[in-house]
Structure 1
Amino acid sequence: MTGKPPNELLNSWFQRSGWSKGELARLVNKRARQLGAAHVSTDTSRVRRWLDGEHPRDPAPRILVELFSERFGTVITHAELGLREPAAPPATSGVDLPWAGRRSIELLGDFARSDLMLNRRGFLGTSLSLSAGPSLIEPMKRWLSPVPEQHPVNGRTPGRVSAEEMDLLEQTTKLFRSWDAQCGGGLRRMAVVGQLHEVTELLRDSHPQSLAERLFRTASELALLAGWMAYDIGMQPSAQRYFVLALHAAREAGDTPLGAHVLATMARQMIHINRAQDALELVHLAQYGSHGTTTPRVQSMLAALEGRAYANLGDADNCRRAVAAAEDLFPGEARAGDGADPDWAAFFTEAELNGENGHSFRDLAYRYPQLTEQAAKSIDRAVDLFSADDEHLRSRALNVVGMATVRLQQREPEAAVGYVHTAVELVRRLRSKRVEDRLRTTVGNLYARYPDVRSVREAHDRAGSVLPAAA
């Protein structure tokens, strides 16, 4: 006897589950092994004591929450099971995570599993906080520390994935990237998270060095894509956690260019939330850490993003320098063979380069209006190039909205309206909160400045009929 009253809430859920005490004990032990908690050994008598009021030791409460949530297909909290809420350990509560292969696997698997389980839009994101400033930058600098020669993954069972299956996993990741570019992050995000969870399960086994690195690389690309999709639909804290985990996995894979790409993506998120100085530091960390290992296309991408950060800081001279570097580095036809680009770098086309640099000039033009013509020239070129590209629909939409903002800067409301109508049609084909928010802001600004222009009123009403209500 425990001397405590029985846990009536846990008893209620247990009775409805249809499990026996022995079945629940076996499920807890299996999940504990998956988490690397080999010390957990639950039996029937232990389950009985939990039902009688004894509070289980960590990690059993979290495992019980997961098991019952999965059993009933809904989110069940610690409190609903009559269990105390655990305090989040410092090492996993933010972005300052341990740089160790086995721990990276556990964290990737845990976060993907939680996301799958708590996949009601925004639920997981609201349980996290967004890091910025030194609390973000300092932990990311440890990406530069060398990985031990002996790969840290040493699973208990032989690996069950062949080289041929690994090829298929990599092709699937490439397909997911294509879907995201076409449709936006809101359509197939959970499929990506599910695939990431499966890959982390494979990483728990023992593999030859080369295969383990490919698995880590795939896990990094999937985590990056899951984060990018979360970013695209407005789940910023969740996106950041995926980015951080992607950086850890890239480091374990020994893939420095991929790590630089992850940092660049984190920088883009910082620009989005008006943390341009953080963005600049992340880009510089990516450039420094990947020096001598990246192709001209990747170097061009990093330089263009550096220009965006400088533009948001109002630093015109350094912005121009970075934009010029991005254009010089971009591999034109004469340099197309300068190194084999990784698959993930294929998105950075001439259209993307023009769009990125055009938005840098657009951002600077709020302080230096004479730059609006340069912004219009570059973004218009991007729109033209994207018009013949159905594979990057979201990028096309973002640049169309960008052109509307430039025309608004140039006090050309009728021209801006034309781009708004095009953007509205593109939004119908996308699931991207980012595009929706930018279009909503642009249309709002246009209407605020020109409420008496009939075409502006019509564009405002049409956009309002298509855009969902602002969250």
Structure 2
Amino acid sequence: MGVLLVGDKRPNVQLNSWFVRSGWSKGELARQVNRRARQTGAHHVSTDTSRVRRWLDGEQPREPIPRILSDLFSERFGCVVSVEDLGLPPQPGPPQGSGVDLPWAGPQTLRLIGELSRSDLMLNRRGYLSGSLVMSAGPALLEPMQRWLATPACASARVSSQEHRARGGRLSEPELELLEATTQMFRRWDAQCGGGLRRKAVVGQLHEVTELLQEPHPPRVSRRLFRIAAELSHLAGWMTYDMGLHPSAQRYFVLALHAAKEARDRPLGAMVLSDMARQMTHLGRPEDALELVHLAQYGSRDTAGARTRSMLYALEARAHANAGEVNRCRRAVGMAEDVFTEAGSSEDPDWIQFFTEGELYGEIAHSYRDLARTSGRGPAHASLAEPVMQRAVRYFRDDVTQQRTYALNLVGMATVHLLQGDGSQAASCLGEAAGTAGRIRSERVNSRLRQVTEEALRRHGTLPEVRELPERLAGALPEAPGLSEPARRRHAG
């Protein structure tokens, strides 16, 4: 592995400081670097104790080592530790045109939200936006998001009260309250019906709010409108993600974070980052998910309520589980449970009210389920997941306002039964989930149903109740694409 040699080397004081506080030995840090390098495809990296010693003595490693060190120390300390914080030269920035490296300024944020929502409304063809945008991950995503903490909100998007009085355009308090109530209504529709039913209405409302923000307002009203725009853009991103359109969902999330910055609402920004982390976990990038969660935790550490902090710990556990990190996952689960006991209700904003005890059960159960797949101790962690997942299923069974969550937990319960070798119980859960999925519009639910059904067919295709599943899915999801052709042939056989 190459290094950048410099004359008159001096010890790297900053790297030494982070290293000493981490509690790692040189050998442990070398092992961590090698593990992360393999996970990210950098198979040429091979680090040992002597190499770590030379870094501490002032030798400057070449890419991807600086980024890997930044990732490892950020994960260790639960905050963003940049390459520069480690006393290493700044690395080249992410490529332009990725769709996420955007100016942190109010007017540009409004223009970009307006352009995205207008294109979405006018073209409105499935996959169009995803075809015109590029999905960002790794440093190309994480580095722009870290600027959420450092960049001040833009004052140029606001006008003084005196200028406002001269130009007019005042929004009344009842009008602002109606905009906020409409956003809350959209959020409940999404939870009850899935992202595919009311998404266009949310995008339309977002476009209207961006137009309102083009008018002059007092700073207090402007910040409030930016908060509404952030919530709507976040919700549009969540519903787009629920439809399986990942690049455009990510773009909505990024713009929501920018709008939350203008609103000076760090807890809301943390919520946006949490859903970006969910998306990264869904796409099989737990390291990126963990970075986003840590960024959310650090950025909202003095402002977020207990319910939000509990949710972030639960998502941290999920990311650790997907990376196969058992002890860190269990520690984050414990923190999520402990902090949730402090959660109230009246002081929480509407966007975090969804995170109930049932949601906590579901996140913990999915973390244990994921550990069963990644840790090499499948039966033990599946047995931990089963009772918690059962509690999550029971919690949402009769809640007509959370049918998507109920369906997803049923599918999760089916995967636990498959890990335990019980195809019959898995088929029962999948059949019930199919009935629920037929009453909502969520491609995320539908795709997970199809994936787990294929897994059930592979493992237990001789059971009659499993062989019946493709027909049950076809009847419940008439507009959804069916099982893959290999699965059809297995079923027919």
TM-score, reference length from structure 1: 0.78
* 1:130 partner amino acid: M
Deviation readout 1:72-114 (Å, 9 max, x if unpaired): xxxxxxxxxxxxxxxxxx8765200000111111111111111
Where in structure 2 are the equivalents of 1:12-411 lying within 5 Å? 93-148=98-153, 150=155, 152-154=157-159, 157-331=167-341, 336=344, 340-366=347-373, 367-369=376-378, 370-411=380-421
CA distance in 1, matches of 2:124, 2:158: 29
CA distance in 1, matches of 2:98, 2:470: 43
Q: Which runs of 5+ in 1 are unaligned?
A: 1-89
Cα shift at 1:397: 0.5
Identical positions, percent: 54
Cα shift at 1:224: 0.3
CA distance in 1, matches of 2:169, 2:283: 42
* 2:461 partner amino acid: P
CA distance in 2, matches of 1:121, 1:206: 35
CA distance in 2, matches of 1:443, 1:464: 12
Deviation readout 1:217-250 (Å, 9 max, x if unpaired): 0000000000000000011000000000000000
Structure 2 contact 195–441 (Cα < 8 Å) conserved: yes
Cα shift at 1:282: 0.3
CA distance in 2, matches of 1:463, 1:120: 25
Cα shift at 1:160: 3.9
Match of 1:55 in 2: none
Structure 1 contact 361–375 (Cα < 8 Å) conserved: yes
* 2:99 partner amino acid: G
Structure 1 residues 419 and 150: alpha-carbon distance in aligned structure 2, compared to 1, 3 A threshold: same
CA distance in 1, matches of 2:223, 2:430: 46
Of 460, 474, 481, which residue of structure 2 is paired with 1:469?
Answer: 481
Structure 1 contact 105–200 (Cα < 8 Å) conserved: yes
Structure 1 contact 420–439 (Cα < 8 Å) conserved: yes
Cα shift at 1:152: 3.0
Deviates more, 1:252-261 or 1:411-420: 411-420
Q: Secondary structure at the match of 2:157?
A: coil
Structure 2 contact 418–426 (Cα < 8 Å) conserved: yes
Match of 1:454 in 2: 464
Structure 1 contact 102–153 (Cα < 8 Å) conserved: no
Cα shift at 1:376: 0.8
Structure 1 residues 279 and 220: alpha-carbon distance in aligned structure 2, compared to 1, 3 A threshold: same
CA distance in 1, matches of 2:238, 2:366: 20
Structure 1 residues 412 and 93: alpha-carbon distance in aligned structure 2, compared to 1, 3 A threshold: closer
* 2:410 partner amino acid: V
CA distance in 2, matches of 1:257, 1:281: 17
Cα shift at 1:161: 1.9
Structure 2 contact 104–154 (Cα < 8 Å) conserved: no
Cα shift at 1:418: 1.1
TM-score, reference length from structure 2: 0.75
Q: How many residues align?
A: 379
Match of 1:4 in 2: none
Match of 1:52 in 2: none
Cα shift at 1:414: 1.1
Structure 1 contact 230–239 (Cα < 8 Å) conserved: yes
Structure 1 contact 287–302 (Cα < 8 Å) conserved: yes
Cα shift at 1:118: 1.3
Structure 1 residues 256 and 151: alpha-carbon distance in aligned structure 2, compared to 1, 3 A threshold: farther
CA RMSD of aligned residues (A): 1.7
Structure 1 contact 125–237 (Cα < 8 Å) conserved: yes
CA distance in 1, matches of 2:217, 2:143: 32
CA distance in 2, matches of 1:140, 1:146: 10
